[in-house]
Amino acid sequence: MDFNKELGRRKTFGIISHPDAGKTTLTEKLLLFGGAIQTAGAVKSNKIKKSATSDFMEIEKQRGISVATSVMAFEYRGLKVNILDTPGHEDFAEDTYRTLTAVDSVIVVIDVAKGVERQTEKLVKVCKMRDTPIIVFINKMDRSGKDAIDLLDEIEEKLGLNVRPLSWPISMGPSFKGVYNMYEKELNLFSPHGKQSEDETIVFEDLSHPDLEKYIGEFADELREEVEMIEGVYPKFDRQDYLDSKISPVFFGSAVNNFGVKELLDCFVEIAPSPLPRETDERMIVPTENKFTGFVFKIHANIDPRHRDRIAFLRICSGLFERNKNYHHVRQGKKIKFSNPTSFMAEKKSIVDYAFPGDIVGLYDSGNFVIGDALSEGEKIHFKGIPSFSPEQFRYVNNKNPMKSKQFKKGLQQLMDEGVAQLFTKQFNNRIIIGTVGALQFEVIQYRLEHEYGALCDYEPVSLYKACWVSSEDDVALRDFCRKRQQDMAVDSKGKIVFLASSQYILNMIKEQYPKIVFHTKSEY
């Protein structure tokens, strides 16, 4: 087993977009090309009673949206490709933010008709904060939409990306003929719902060749002009610029028709980075190090409700991970080993004996892990950039069936450990408040408590503006603040002190009254 060779084979990336841009469909088609699945599921089809491979929770199948990050791996052209398909819906943005800590690059999917949408802007902003290399896939070219040049301008303006088209569309909507792949110098002709066989790809080193008219008719001159303009206006593609997040390649296609996906995948596996270093509070972790390190970026309870299993998703950052070997759980300060670590194909799991940097491994967990936990071979390390954000919506949660209080408590605890919502216990009356990024999350929690834990809950409104974690260099001042503002104080699920502000005015006033107290809007401070 050649460690460096295996390391070089790994490509780990996330797919992000606004809801309905076609992200999960694109994931399906990538898996098809990788041979990981045989047929693609229709995400929102009433006629085809299949659900997308990456959407395995019951509520996802009913709603046709992704509400949890799925991890999938497949082999392609001698490489091991790990895809993390993230929720697009903004109510689940926090899950996506944390998932972005576990990837080395991303593909951003944009709907040609809708252009750059708000959620896409937020997610790309997080990627840019981490200098994550970005490829853009403009989807649904078989439908009428925005002009390609206008769309590139919009991407540069709204997302702050320097783009470089590596394929170019030939018309769009009903008259869509295909794309010219500038990276491979090939013409790819479009046929609806085609399998995009090799026969539909024509090598075209020189677009001035008269045969071009034979394939795309009246669009030939337009394509020549536009490609010439692109070569003159946009910077030359340089892989190092892409790896340094200075330039973002752009591809066009139609995921639902399996068109343009192979060009995207072929280029991706060629240019995308191998596993990158990871920053910790103590030092930079380099993938080629001999000793194993990794961190938990996601926890999913009841991935299979029949077996009540709880799985922690571990990103391997350095060294070789081995089954049945003792590793150091940094937060708990104890040794722990794993007899059945798994790799994923959505809900399908297989036991792995070894895993390398870049791989995502599922660890069966009985409650040992919380998001952000680190594993090592003894070194005390704390990975950076895996925070909880201050929620935007709050509700009291009540147990509707006192006979099921044990199930209610366990269900809430496990669902909060997943990190998609946050739980605060008020100090003066012990009432439980759930805070989320969006309203849909309350519905998901209620649904999962009932169907996975047999517990019923309801909600009561609570008027809150912000939950702020508090700290101070003056312990006496902090204790005094907590005592005087007792009715507004709570603790989160990790025992950290939180101030619950009822309005922005109150928060500003409190900040003035207590200058020694620092108010944080994320838990990593």
Q: Which CATH architecture has domain 278-376?
A: 3-Layer(aba) Sandwich (3.40)
Average pLDDT on 399-421 reads 86
For the chain, residues classed under CATH 3.30.70.3280 are 393-520
Average pLDDT on 47-54 reads 38
> Given this model, what pLDDT does residue 505 score?
94
> Given this model, what pLDDT does residue 215 score?
80
For the chain, residues classed under CATH 3.40.50.300 are 3-71+85-271, 278-376
Q: Is the pLDDT of residue 46 over 50?
A: no
Q: Which residue has the tokens 């025992």?
A: 495
Q: Is the pLDDT of residue 20 over 70?
A: yes
47-51, 136-140, 379-383, 397-401: least confident range: 47-51
Structure tokens at 484: 């005087």
Query: Highest-confidence range of 10-19, 241-250, 443-452, by mean pLDDT?
Result: 241-250
CA distance 201 to 253: 14
> Given this model, what pLDDT does residue 417 score?
77
Q: Which fold has domain 393-520?
A: Alpha-Beta Plaits (3.30.70)
Tell how far CA 83 is from the center of its chain: 9
CA distance 69 to 110: 19
Q: CATH class for domain 3-71+85-271?
A: alpha beta
- Nearest CA among 22, 65, 55 for reference residue 261: 22
CA distance 320 to 375: 12
> Given this model, what pLDDT does residue 9 score?
93
> Given this model, what pLDDT does residue 105 score?
95
- Cα distances (Å, whole numbers) of residue 404 to 106, 307, 457: 43, 19, 10
Q: 46 pairs with which residues across the strands?
A: none
CA distance 15 to 281: 28
CB distance 192 to 257 below 8 Å: yes
What is the per-residue pLDDT across 341-356, written as a single tens digit (0 to 9) for each? 988 764 456 788 999 9
> Given this model, what pLDDT does residue 53 score?
43
Q: Is the pLDDT of residue 315 over 90?
A: yes
Q: Among residues of the chain, what percentage have pLDDT more than 70? A: 84
What is the per-residue pLDDT across 191-219, written as a single tens digit (0 to 9) for each? 765 554 444 667 767 777 777 887 888 88
